[in-house]
């Protein structure tokens, strides 16, 4: 028997109560040439017992003897995946009806140089923070302007369940960094994009479930995400500084800086954990923003960056395009 057309990769750790819905959504698909590859990371909530009830021969299950961490577990899945195309599906998310048919149709029309597809792009239009990205960014991300895109708009891939990728791309680049437990995906996508183009797809193929127990919550338990995201944005800033208006870049960096700080403070203050809160603030000094007092006043005065965000984004893209005609956006 040959390799399946697509591997659906599901890293799971204590996946109940949503895991069964995730699996059922794959079994209900009207495209059948797939493998569902699940790696359990040491669950103790009944997930392993549920896995023991799955009998479909297209489902492959590995029970890890020790917890590999999210990125270690996902790296393992990619290393062992049988198909040339892989679709990530988090254990608390699910596929919409007909998703695999849509996914395979998109890949069939995708040129070989495109290494990844970011599905669910149309959903960005429903969010204030991201609708500008949906309106202004071309569907294809070029290595020539990827650092600029990631600095201005953040991790364009969003949830892991949005992403399909040529399996070899992950393995050739060494997988996700395990020393960035919150932002390992942001780090990988941004660096991958410097060498390979990827494409956004409007098709909605997965339902991403927000809830308090999701990985982005427990991996940011002590505000770790603030430092890690700012570290990656600083790398992007360094690579684009001087290629467009530095004042506009630093203004945008200031808004993002205090947005991350605000998010970290809000979480830690609600739990009255002042020590980690102060550590977040101490470790998050970045040269990509304006002087701290001025940057804070700018952030507050623009209602957390909402006022002027559209104008600044358009001005930044205009500045970038005028100075980088071979790497234009839009």
Report, as an integer, the average pLDDT of 5-20. Answer: 96
Rounded to an integer, what is the distance from CA 117 to the centroid of its chain?
A: 12
Q: What distances in angstroms separate CA 322 from CA 59, 138, 148, 149, 245, one per listed residue?
A: 51, 17, 14, 15, 10
In what helix (H) or strand (E) does residue 117 lie, and over which residues does it extend?
strand 116-118
8 Å CB contact between 323 and 243: yes
The pLDDT assigned to 309 comes to: 79
Please give the structure tokens belonging to residue 19: 């895991």
- Give the SS3 label for residue 243: coil
**pLDDT level of residue 298 (50, 70, 90 thresholds):** confident
**pLDDT level of residue 264 (50, 70, 90 thresholds):** low
Q: Kindly report which listed range (176-185, 242-251, 270-279) carries the lowest average pLDDT score.
A: 270-279
Given a cut of 70, whether residue 30 has pLDDT beyond it is yes
DSSP 122: G
Report, as an integer, the average pLDDT of 240-249. Answer: 93
Domain coordinates in residue numbering, the chain: 6-215, 223-327
Domain 6-215 has CATH 3.90.550.10: yes
The pLDDT assigned to 198 comes to: 98
Q: Kindly report which listed range (114-123, 222-231, 243-252) carries the lowest average pLDDT score.
A: 222-231
Given a cut of 60, whether residue 16 has pLDDT beyond it is yes
Q: Kindly report which listed range (139-143, 169-173, 287-291) carries the lowest average pLDDT score.
A: 287-291
Given a cut of 80, whether residue 271 has pLDDT beyond it is no
pLDDT digits over 69-105, tens only? Answer: 999 999 999 999 999 999 999 999 999 999 999 999 9
Nearest to 184 by CA among 218, 219, 150: 219
How many other C-beta atoms are found inside a 10 Å radius of the C-beta of residue 17? 11
Report, as an integer, the average pLDDT of 236-247. Answer: 94
- Alpha-helical segments (H) within the chain: 19-27, 47-51, 69-80, 99-108, 128-136, 146-153, 167-172, 184-193, 215-218, 224-240, 246-270, 274-283, 292-301, 309-323
Q: Kindly report which listed range (31-45, 51-65, 280-294) carries the lowest average pLDDT score.
A: 280-294
Percent of the chain with pLDDT over 90: 68
The pLDDT assigned to 310 comes to: 83
Percent of the chain with pLDDT over 70: 88
């Amino acid at each position: 028997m040959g390799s399946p057309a697509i591997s659906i990769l599901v890293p799971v750790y204590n996946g109940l109560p949503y895991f069964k819905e995730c699996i059922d959504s794959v079994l209900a698909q009207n495209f059948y040439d797939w493998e569902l590859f699940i790696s359990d990371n040491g669950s103790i909530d009944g997930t392993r017992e549920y896995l023991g009830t799955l009998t479909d021969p297209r489902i492959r299950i590995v029970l890890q003897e020790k917890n590999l961490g999210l990125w270690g577990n996902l790296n393992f899945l990619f290393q062992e995946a049988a198909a040339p195309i892989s679709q990530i599906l988090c254990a608390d998310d699910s596929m919409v009806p007909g998703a695999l048919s849509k996914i395979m149709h998109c890949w069939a029309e995708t040129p070989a140089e495109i290494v990844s597809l970011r599905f669910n792009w149309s959903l960005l239009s429903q969010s204030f923070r991201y609708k500008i990205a949906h309106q202004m960014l071309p569907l294809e991300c070029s290595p020539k302007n990827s650092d600029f895109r990631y600095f201005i708009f953040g991790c364009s891939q969003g949830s892991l369940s949005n992403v399909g990728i040529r399996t070899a791309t992950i393995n050739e680049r060494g997988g996700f960094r395990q020393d960035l437990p919150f932002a390992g995906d942001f780090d990988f996508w941004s660096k991958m994009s410097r060498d390979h183009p990827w494409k956004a797809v409007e098709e909605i193929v997965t339902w991403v479930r927000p809830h308090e127990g999701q990985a982005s919550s427990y991996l940011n338990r002590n505000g770790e995400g603030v430092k890690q995201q700012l570290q990656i944005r600083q790398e992007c800033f360094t690579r684009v500084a001087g290629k467009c208006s530095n004042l506009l870049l630093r203004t945008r960096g200031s808004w993002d800086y205090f947005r991350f700080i605000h998010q970290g403070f809000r979480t830690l203050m609600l739990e009255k954990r002042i020590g980690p809160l102060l550590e977040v603030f101490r470790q998050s000094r970045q040269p990509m923003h304006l002087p701290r007092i001025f940057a804070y006043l700018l952030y507050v005065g623009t209602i957390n960056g909402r006022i002027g965000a559209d104008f600044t984004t358009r001005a930044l893209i205009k500045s970038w395009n005028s100075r980088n005609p071979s790497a234009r956006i839009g």
